Chains A and B, each alone.
Chain A
Amino acid sequence: DAKTTQPNSMESNEEEPVHLPCNHSTISGTDYIHWYRQLPSQGPEYVIHGLTSNVNNRMASLAIAEDRKSSTLILHRATLRDAAVYYCILRDPNAGGTSYGKLTFGQGTILTVHP
C-alpha cells in the first residue's frame, strides 16, 4: 500500500472549521483516498472517500489536490464529539487477495477539540 503522512496532532476550538491534511506522494492512479476516524474506546468509523474530485457528505468534505499527492479532510464546524484519531488511507479497488481487507492505518492525527 502507498504510504500516507499525517501530522501527529491538531487542535481546534468548538464551532470552528478543521482542516486535517494528508500527504500521499506515492499514490497510484487507481488508489482511492479514504478517511476513517476512531473515537476513544470505539472501532474505526468510515468518514469519506474520493478519487479525484472533491467530495462532500453529512460528516465532512474531502478536498483532493489536483496532482492527488495530498488531500485535506474538512470538518466544517468541529464539535466535542469530533475529538478522535483521524486516519487517511489509500485503497486500490482492483487489489485482490488480502489487499482489499488490508487497511494500513498508520498513526493518524489526534484531533483535540476545545470547548
Chain B
Amino acid sequence: DVKVTQSSRYLVKRTGEKVFLECVQDMDHENMFWYRQDPGLGLRLIYFSYDVKMKEKGDIPEGYSVSREKKERFSLILESASTNQTSMYLCASSPYPEGLSPLHFGNGTRLTVT
C-alpha cells in the first residue's frame, strides 16, 4: 500500500512564524499535492508538483510556497503564518497526472496559528 506520511499531526505556531509542513511518499509517485480542508469549504488545492523541482499554483497559493528537491518529499512553507491559515493540511500523491489515478492522502496536519 502507498504510504503518505506527514511529519506532524498537530502544530501550534505563532503569527509571523515561518512554518514548514513536510510530506513524504514511498511509492515513487510523480505527482504530489498540498490541500487545506476547512469546514464548509471542502478541500482546496494550494500547490502541486508533477516532478522534482517543478511546481504549479493551485487555487489558493497566496501566503504559501513549496519545495520539492527530491521525488519523495514535498514541503509546504508558510512564509509568515497568519491566523487565517489555521486549518487541516493534507498532502497527497498520485502516479499519473491525469484525472484517473486515485490520490493517496496522508493523515493530515492540523495547524493552529495563534
Residues of A within 8 A of B (CB): 32, 34, 36, 41-46, 49, 91-95, 97-107
Report the minimum CB–CB distance from B18 to chain A (whole Å).
24
- A98 and B57 form a contact (CB under 8 A): yes
- A98 and B59 form a contact (CB under 8 A): yes
Point out the residues of chain A lying under 8 angstroms from B4, CB to CB.
Answer: 43
- B59 and A102 form a contact (CB under 8 A): yes
- B98 and A103 form a contact (CB under 8 A): no
Dominant SS among interface residues on chain A? loop
For the complex of A and B, the 4 pairs showing the least CB-CB separation, nearest first, are: A43-B105, A46-B102, A91-B99, A105-B42
Give the size category of B's interface with A: 20 to 34
Point out the residues of chain A lying under 8 angstroms from B56, CB to CB.
Answer: 97-98
A interface footprint on B33-64 (CB within 8 Å = 1, 0 otherwise): 10100001011010010000000111100000
- A103 and B45 form a contact (CB under 8 A): yes
Known: A42-B107, A91-B100. A101 touches B90 (CB 8 A): no
Point out the residues of chain A lying under 8 angstroms from B43, CB to CB.
Answer: 44, 103-105
- B58 and A43 form a contact (CB under 8 A): no
Determine the residue in chain B with the shortest Cβ distance to A31.
B99
Report the minimum CB–CB distance from B73 to chain A (whole Å).
17
Taking a contact as CB atoms closer than 8 A, the residue among B42, B58, B104 that contacts A98 in the complex is B58
Point out the residues of chain B lying under 8 angstroms from A42, CB to CB.
Answer: 107-108
Point out the residues of chain A lying under 8 angstroms from B97, CB to CB.
Answer: 100
Taking a contact as CB atoms closer than 8 A, the residue among A49, A101, A107 that contacts B58 in the complex is A101
Interface residues of B in 59-114 (CB under 8 A from A): 59, 90, 92, 97-100, 102-108
